[in-house]
Amino acid sequence: MQAKVNVRRFNPDEERPKSYTQQFDVEVEEHFTVLDTLIKVREEIDGSLALRCSCRAAICGSCAMRVNGHAVLACKARVSQHLSDDGQVTVEPAGNQPVIKDLVVDLEPFWDKLRAVEPYLQPAMPEPEAEYLAPNEVMLHLVDVMGCIMCGACVSDCTVLEVDPNFLGPAALAKAYRFVADTRDEEDTKRLGIYNAYGGIWDCTRCGECVQACPKGVAPMDRIMALREKAVESGTPPGSYEGAQYGYRHSVAFEEIITHKGRLEETQLVVKTLGMFNLPKLLGMAPMALSAMFRRKMPPPITRAAPGVGQVRRLANRIRWNRLSKVE
């Protein structure tokens, strides 16, 4: 089978470096991964093609890159499944990170963000003589997060990082979750304080791209949501970061309104999130409110409780109870 591989290239050694696309015609076999294909290019056609790769088995995390616009591990992506009808596939460096050469990106910001979440176990002292006792279910749950190979595919496709490079990003926050969820770590309050800050858990927009991109099923966004839940449950104050305060109050208000009324009162949600006396922000919402009103889409400010609200409250209680026993 013939593949036309369009590779985005960039050579910093040139006098005025510019990125460009180069097409390689490669004979590929059915079982070839994108990585096999690129290695063939590098070994047989152009030895100057730069990419990182090592294990060929989706465990070392070196070869995250964009294939047809989405981040994948090149060693896990069958090339035949990515070929267009006319046999083309486009390979670009991972996104949201500066390119060093061809498909090699600068990972320094990636590691810096990892450092920022204090990514090491902080147990209560003193250590026991033997191992810490921990339920197998807790460990099995952590295996899924520990499956993260730090490839950065999630970071490549994160839509928040596109507009705000300060965001800690899905990989670092998934790592952060691993410690909060680890029963041996005793620094949850400090940690949640850090993760509540600007660039932390409240800045995720829940777009789901990281879940899609992760080759190991870590589902970083779900971990970020779990951290939010922990922050709210543990009553960790949202700190001075406005974004965290709104995010935090939004979650609390949402739950409050639903359990009270059995349905969502959107007007109330806005008021409770921004604060009753936060006039500047509330006024800032006015244009949207007016436009909704003109289109007759303005929800009524106060509604009656939904029929069967008792049922909703019982459900809410049961969820709270389950959560509590899970935390214990």
Partner 1 sequence: MYSHDVLVLGAGLAGMRAALEAARSGANVAMLSKVYPVRSHSNAAQGGINAALTDRGDDWHEHAYDTVKGSDFLGDQDAIEVMCREAGQELINLEHMGVIFNRDDEGRLGTRAFGGQRRARTFFVADITGQAILHVMYEQILKYNVRVYDEWYATTLITDHGRCGGVVAMEMRTGEVHAIRAKATILATGGLGRVFEPSTNALICTGDGMALAYRAGAPLMDMEMVQYHPTTLKGSGVLLSEGARGEGAYLINSRGERFMERYAPNMMELASRDVVSRAEITEINEGNDIDGCVLLDCRHLGRAKIMERLMYIHEVAMDLVGVDITKDPVPIRPGVHYQMGGIKTDVDGRCWDPAGNWKGVEGLFAAGETACVSVHGGNRLGANSLLDTVIFGRRSAEAAMDFAGANGHLEFSEDTWVGGEKASMQALLDNNGGGDLVAKLRLDMATAMDEGLGVYRTEEGMQQALNAVRGMKGRFKDVIVQDKGKAFNTNLIFALELGCMLDCAEAIAVGGIERKESRGAHSRLDYAARDDENWLKHILLYQGPGDQITKEYVPIVITQWQPEERKY
Query: HSE (CB half, 13 Å, CA atoms) of 64?
Result: 28
Say how far apart CA 17 and CA 250 lie, in whole Å. Answer: 47
Nearest approach in angstroms of CB 31 to partner 1 is 7
Say how far apart CA 121 and CA 124 lie, in whole Å. Answer: 10
Query: Binding of partner 1 at residue 153 (CB under 8 A)?
Result: no
Query: Binding of partner 1 at residue 120 (CB under 8 A)?
Result: yes
Report the DSSP pairing between strands 2-9 and 88-92: parallel
Structure tokens at 310: 């008792």
Query: Binding of partner 1 at residue 111 (CB under 8 A)?
Result: yes
Nearer residue to partner 1 within complex by CB, 39 or 244: 39
DSSP of 7-70: EEE--TTSSS---EEEEEEEE--TT-BHHHHHHHIIIII-TT-------SSSSS---EEEETTE
Beta bridge partners of 204: none
Q: Assess contact for 2 and 28: CB atoms under 8 A.
A: yes
Query: Binding of partner 1 at residue 131 (CB under 8 A)?
Result: yes
Per DSSP, the three-state class of 89 is strand
Nearest approach in angstroms of CB 97 to partner 1 is 14
Nearest approach in angstroms of CB 104 to partner 1 is 5
Q: Which of residues 219-238 bind partner 1 (CB under 8 A)?
A: none
| Residue selected from 4, 8, 184, 281 as contacting partner 1 according to rule CB under 8 A | 184
Question: Which of 38-46, 198-206, 234-242, 269-277 is the region at the interface with partner 1 (rule: CB under 8 A)?
Answer: 38-46
Question: Which of 55-63, 84-92, 246-254, 298-306 is the region at the interface with partner 1 (rule: CB under 8 A)?
Answer: 55-63
* DSSP single-letter state for residue 91: E
Query: Binding of partner 1 at residue 313 (CB under 8 A)?
Result: no
Query: Binding of partner 1 at residue 46 (CB under 8 A)?
Result: yes
Q: Could you list the residues that contact partner 1 (CB under 8 A)?
A: 11-13, 31, 33, 42-44, 46-48, 50-62, 76, 78, 100-102, 104, 107, 111, 114-115, 119-121, 123, 127, 129-136, 139-140, 142-143, 146-150, 182, 184-185
